[in-house]
């Protein structure tokens, strides 16, 4: 069944062995969810090109289970987990040593149980709302609200956890996005995960899981860390996260933005985490027999640890964006991301590459300018090379703004010129 809304976002519902597939089609961007497979997003595409990892041993290209695969709620050890792939939400902290830790995956309710689905339309936005059953182990019900606007290459994932038990519970929301992640063939590939630092004084990284080793992290630029694709099974946390991350693949880039707070977080204060795995010949006994069969990267955004009274809820909002890979990501903004070579040309001119999520204009404003300077026309999901003429660099501060899908604008950079005449710098 196909439903076309007045604002051009189409909703398609297709029967499947696990219930149904629901696709939101905003034009170039489409997202497809499987409510019966733990409320997962199984597909995010831009112009037909896929961003998410899916397990080819469980699902076909049509997102239907392969012959002999039986979807449904299941429990057990990590070796028993049916990892379909995609994007899903779990509670944190994870662990198997007490009631205050989530002993999954697998999990028969929140990870592999069926979610209900409803479609909402509000203020030009079409949203798919997926809701789990009530989980007796954690006391939680999870809700995932996926919201799209027409002609945009960004979408919102608004998460809610509600305490449905009769006692106080303490959990954090934990969103996990799986992406294919084979190591780069080149010696200095840009592929991998980029994360912004907040400069809070908290540790830049903390080691969390060493399956076969610890993931390597390097500084890509001032205030930006890079986890390259690599052959390792392990996880690293980022307590100093600025609330954005980006996965850069050989051809496509997926970004995430989320709010970080000065409150307790799980996993030694991690606001974001990256898990890496690669094919192994045997399972890892100290990880419940987990045996990875593919190169997979998990980009993970976390909410704060929250004590929930019975009936109380907590939220985490993650804003996704997609576009082409044009180099290392330097910053993620509400309207798009900066990528490519470091900004600033050899002749002192400001240069950079901006990939927007909505159509409009990229403009620069100076304190003494009567009118903004138009730097470029923006097309959603298309790279825009930015070049500010050197005679415009005389303004000590320039604010760059870009269009949002709702018709507004957002600041995407603050450009400052050095007093000694050196080339200007970005502060996104």
What is the pTM (predicted TM-score) of this model? 0.94
349 burial (CB, 10 Å; 0-12 / 13-18 / 19+) is middle
Q: Report residue 5's pLDDT band, with 50, 70 and 90 as the boundaries.
A: very low
Q: Over pLDDT 90: what percentage of the chain? A: 81
pLDDT above 70 as % of the chain: 90
Mean per-residue pLDDT of the chain: 91
pLDDT, tens digit (0-9, with 9 covering 90-100), for 231-252: 999 999 999 999 999 999 999 9
Give the residue with greater pLDDT, 343 vs 111: 111
CA distance to 58, 121, 362, per residue, from 283 (Å): 19, 46, 50
Domain extents in the chain = 2-323, 340-427
Instruction: Tell which residue, 159, 179, 152, has the closest CA to residue 322.
Output: 152
Does the pLDDT at position 193 exceed 80? Answer: yes
With left for phi above 0 and alpha for psi between -120 and 50, is residue 286 left, alpha or beta?
alpha
* 3-state SS, one letter per residue, for 360-425: EEEEEECCCCCCCEEEEEECCCCCEEEEECHHHCCCCEEEEEEECCCCCEEEEEEEECCCCCCCCE
Q: Distance between CA atoms of 263 and 269, rounded to whole angstroms? A: 9
CA distance 102 to 397: 48
Give residue-wise pLDDT tens across range 208-236.
999 999 999 999 999 999 999 999 999 99
Residue 34 clears pLDDT 90, i.e. is over it: yes
Average pLDDT of 188-200?
Answer: 92
- How high is the pLDDT of residue 390? 65
Q: Find the mean pLDDT for residues 330-358.
A: 80
Half-sphere CA count of 200, side-chain side, radius 13 A: 20
Beta bridge partners of 409: 403
> Could you name the CATH architecture of 2-323?
Distorted Sandwich (2.70)
pLDDT at position 425 over 80: no
Mean pLDDT over 289-310 rounds to 97
Phi first, then psi, for residue 180 (nearest 5°) are -65, 140
Q: What is the mean pLDDT of residues 274-290?
A: 95
Q: What is the pLDDT of residues 121-132, one digit of tens each?
A: 988 899 999 999
Q: Mean pLDDT check: name the lowest of 121-125, 271-275, 303-307, 424-428.
A: 424-428
> Which residue in 127, 114, 230, 108 sits closest to 181, CA to CA?
230
The pLDDT of residue 392 is 53
What are the pLDDT digits (tens) for 89-130? 999 999 988 889 999 999 999 999 999 999 999 888 999 999
Q: CA-to-CA distance for 224 and 255, rounded, in angstroms?
A: 14
Query: Is pLDDT at 295 greater than 60 in this prediction?
Result: yes
DSSP letter for each residue of 314-360: EEEEEEEEEEE--S-EEEEETTEEEESSPSS-TTS-EEEEEEESSSE
Distance of alpha carbon 428 from alpha carbon 242, whole angstroms = 11
d(CA 343, CA 45): 29
Query: Does position 185 have pLDDT exceeding 80, yes or no?
Result: no
Write out pLDDT tens, residues 42-101.
999 999 999 999 999 999 999 999 999 999 999 988 888 999 999 999 999 999 888 899
Q: Can you give the length of the chain in residues?
A: 428
């Amino acid at each position: 069944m196909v439903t076309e809304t007045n604002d051009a976002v189409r909703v398609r519902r297709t029967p499947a062995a696990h219930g149904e597939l629901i696709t939101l089609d905003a034009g170039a961007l489409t997202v497809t969810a499987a409510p019966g497979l733990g409320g997962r997003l199984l597909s995010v595409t831009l112009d037909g090109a896929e961003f998410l990892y899916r397990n080819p041993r469980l699902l076909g290209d049509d997102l239907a289970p392969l012959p002999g695969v039986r979807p449904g709620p299941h429990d057990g050890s990590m070796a028993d987990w049916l990892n379909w792939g995609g994007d899903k939400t779990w509670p944190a902290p994870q662990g198997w040593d007490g009631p205050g830790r989530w002993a999954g995956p697998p999990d028969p309710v929140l990870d592999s149980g069926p979610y209900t689905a409803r479609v909402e339309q509000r203020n030009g936005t079409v949203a798919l709302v997926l809701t789990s059953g009530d989980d007796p182990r954690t006391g939680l019900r999870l809700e995932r609200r996926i919201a799209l606007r027409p002609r945009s290459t960004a979408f919102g994932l608004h998460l809610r956890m509600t305490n449905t038990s009769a006692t106080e519970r303490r959990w954090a929301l934990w969103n996990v996005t799986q992406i294919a992640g084979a190591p780069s063939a080149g010696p200095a590939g840009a592929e991998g995960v980029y994360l912004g630092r907040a400069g809070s004084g908290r540790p830049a990284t903390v080691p969390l899981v060493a399956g076969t080793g610890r993931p390597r992290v390097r500084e890509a630029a001032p205030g930006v860390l890079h986890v390259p694709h690599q052959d390792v099974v392990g996880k690293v946390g980022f307590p100093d996260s600025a609330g954005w991350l980006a996965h850069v693949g050989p051809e496509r880039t997926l970004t995430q933005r989320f709010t970080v707070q000065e409150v307790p977080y799980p996993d030694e204060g991690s606001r974001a985490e990256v898990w890496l795995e690669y094919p192994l010949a045997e399972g890892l006994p100290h990880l419940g027999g987990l045996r990875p069969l593919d190169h997979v990267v998990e980009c993970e955004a976390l909410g704060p640890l929250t004590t929930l009274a019975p009936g109380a809820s907590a939220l985490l909002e993650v804003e996704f964006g997609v576009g082409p890979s044009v180099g290392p990501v330097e910053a993620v903004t509400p309207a798009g991301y900066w990528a490519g070579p470091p900004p600033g040309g050899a002749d002192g001119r400001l240069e950079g590459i901006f990939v927007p999520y909505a159509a409009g204009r990229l403009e620069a404003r100076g304190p003494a300018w009567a009118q903004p300077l138009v730097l470029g026309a923006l097309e959603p999901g298309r790279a825009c090379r930015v070049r500010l003429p050197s005679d415009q660099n005389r303004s000590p501060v320039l604010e760059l703004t870009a269009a949002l899908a709702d018709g507004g604008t957002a600041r995407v950079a603050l450009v400052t010129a050095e007093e000694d005449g050196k080339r200007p710098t970005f502060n996104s």
